[in-house]
Amino acid sequence: MPQDEEQLLHEQIRGAHEDRDRTRRKLTKRPESREAAAGAFISEAGGTLVTARVIRAEGMFFVLRLNDGKEVRAKSYKGTRSANPNSTLVAVGDDVRIANNEGGLLIEEVSLRRTKLSRRAAGRRSAFEQVIVANVDLLVIVASVGEPKLRSGIIDRYIVAALEGGLEIAIAINKIDTASPEEMDEALYFRDLYREIGYPVHLVSASQGTGIQELKEEIVGKTSVFAGHSGVGKSSIVNAILGRKAMQTGVLQKKFRRGAHTTAASALMEVPQLSTVENPTYIADTPGVREFANFELRPADLKFAFVEFQKFQERCAITNCSHTHEPGCAVRQAVEEDKISIGRYTNYQKLLGEAQREETKRIRNQ
């Protein structure tokens, strides 16, 4: 790619990111303070409604943080109203309103989620949105060299999920302390590939502390969630950032795996060293997943998640080109000329096939 063209692409991508960030920040900064100004509300049951944020689940309860920083426990119930239909009722990160009842605190309302990381819940007849965590700013996609092996398939799945859910994206490639020269080459290849597309990439070693400072700079003042294949070192990175063993690491955590709950975010944790009163930093770990199925992939939307296709697709012969079989496809041409990574294109094809099958199912179920 000629230098000036490459420059332009980078600027376009950065511009798009910045626009999105700005709107999101405007929309979202500190919903608590917005609501605090409106004061407390009276619930239908007669109790006073207070706003709070869900920071973790504990058995049947949710632990919530009130505006003043105090933590309380509350339950959802039959009467809990949600602004998020056909989705997880209460997720970590949700903004809720609670009221006092004889039995304790009840969650009366769940606010519209400004962002979310969700997946398709397995084992239901129709696709159901399982929200892993709500109202976070940044998804840090964690991969590792060595064990488990670095694969771009799951990275691209998470990129699509982040773009769908309105999250910023960063990538961390962990365990570089164990990398063989070949694995290091591979890590550098992926670092350059994703950087060129427009995502920050950090090479880290949770066990040696390499790259942790860079990651801290990435997450400061935001709420971030760490996701990726089981065993890549998410919990180890979270511990390294917090400077304490907040999360269980290694094989032991497998004991706690349980059915549908396995992908819910564990907890929102404040990072005190990176927080001020005005600008707190929160992080959430996610427990191990072997598979990550995207929720509601739309075939027509998918190509926009592969942002590097964009500058080529206007030259496709067909307006609504899916970049698979159409004659005169400029995206496929670019793949052949090595201007688009074959790996990314293969992941696109795979996700598109999945999206098309999902859509067929949806239409059949209507």
Ligand X SMILES: Nc1nc2c(ncn2[C@@H]2O[C@H](COP(=O)(O)OP(=O)(O)O)[C@@H](O)[C@H]2O)c(=O)[nH]1
Binds ligand X by CB under 6 A, chosen from 88, 115, 235, 281: 235
Here the contacts of 147-152 (C-beta below 8 Å, separation 24 or greater) are 147/175, 147/178, 147/231, 148/229, 148/230, 148/231, 148/232, 150/183, 150/186, 150/187, 150/190, 151/229, 152/190, 152/343, 152/344, 152/347
Is position 329 an interface residue for Zn ion (rule: CB under 5 A)? yes
Rounded CA-CA distance 140/162 in Å is 10
Rounded CA-CA distance 215/307 in Å is 23
| Kind of pairing between the strands at 138-144 and 168-174 | parallel
Is position 202 an interface residue for ligand X (rule: CB under 6 A)? no
Region binding Zn ion by CB under 5 A among candidate stretches 91-99, 107-115, 241-249, 318-326 = 318-326
Is position 313 an interface residue for ligand X (rule: CB under 6 A)? no
Q: Would you tell me how many other CB atoms lie within 10 Å of the CB of residue 104?
A: 12
Q: Secondary structure of the chain: what % helix, strand, coil (to 5)?
A: 40, 25, 35
Cβ atoms of 225 and 284 within 8 Å: the answer is: yes
Which of ligand X, Mg ion, Zn ion, none interacts with 177 (beta carbon under 5 to 8 A by kind)?
ligand X
Region binding ligand X by CB under 6 A among candidate stretches 19-27, 28-36, 201-209, 268-276 = 201-209
Q: How far is CA 30 from the centre of its chain?
A: 19
Rounded CA-CA distance 123/81 in Å is 25
Which of ligand X, Zn ion, Mg ion, none interacts with 323 (beta carbon under 5 to 8 A by kind)?
Zn ion
Beta strands in 230-342 (DSSP E): 268-270, 282-284
Cβ proximity to ligand X: between 175 and 332 the closer is 175
Cβ atoms of 236 and 246 within 8 Å: the answer is: no
Residue nearest to ligand X (CB): 233
- Nearest approach in angstroms of CB 163 to ligand X is 22
Rounded CA-CA distance 238/242 in Å is 6
Binds Zn ion by CB under 5 A, chosen from 331, 335, 351, 352: 331
Cβ atoms of 331 and 312 within 8 Å: the answer is: yes
Here the contacts of 333-337 (C-beta below 8 Å, separation 24 or greater) are 334/309
Binds Mg ion by CB under 5 A, chosen from 84, 223, 235, 266: 235
Is position 321 an interface residue for Zn ion (rule: CB under 5 A)? yes
- Nearest approach in angstroms of CB 357 to Zn ion is 21
How many residues touch Zn ion under the rule CB under 5 A: the total is 5
Is position 250 an interface residue for ligand X (rule: CB under 6 A)? yes
Cβ proximity to Mg ion: between 229 and 234 the closer is 234
The gap between the terminal CA atoms of the chain, to the nearest Å, is 46
Interaction with ligand X in 153-192: which residues (CB under 6 A)? 174-175, 177-178
- Nearest approach in angstroms of CB 309 to Zn ion is 8
Rounded CA-CA distance 41/76 in Å is 18
Cβ proximity to ligand X: between 47 and 233 the closer is 233
- Nearest approach in angstroms of CB 247 to ligand X is 7
Is position 230 an interface residue for ligand X (rule: CB under 6 A)? yes
Is position 249 an interface residue for ligand X (rule: CB under 6 A)? yes
- Nearest approach in angstroms of CB 336 to Zn ion is 12
Is position 266 an interface residue for Mg ion (rule: CB under 5 A)? no
Rounded CA-CA distance 72/36 in Å is 17
- Nearest approach in angstroms of CB 171 to Mg ion is 17
Region binding ligand X by CB under 6 A among candidate stretches 101-109, 213-221, 227-235, 256-264 = 227-235
Is position 316 an interface residue for Zn ion (rule: CB under 5 A)? yes
Is position 322 an interface residue for Mg ion (rule: CB under 5 A)? no
Q: Would you tell me how many other CB atoms lie within 10 Å of the CB of residue 240?
A: 22
Question: Can you give the binding site for Mg ion, defined by CB under 5 A?
Answer: 234-235
Question: Can you give the binding site for ligand X, defined by CB under 6 A?
Answer: 174-175, 177-178, 205-207, 230-236, 249-250, 288
Question: Can you give the binding site for Zn ion, defined by CB under 5 A?
Answer: 316, 321, 323, 329, 331
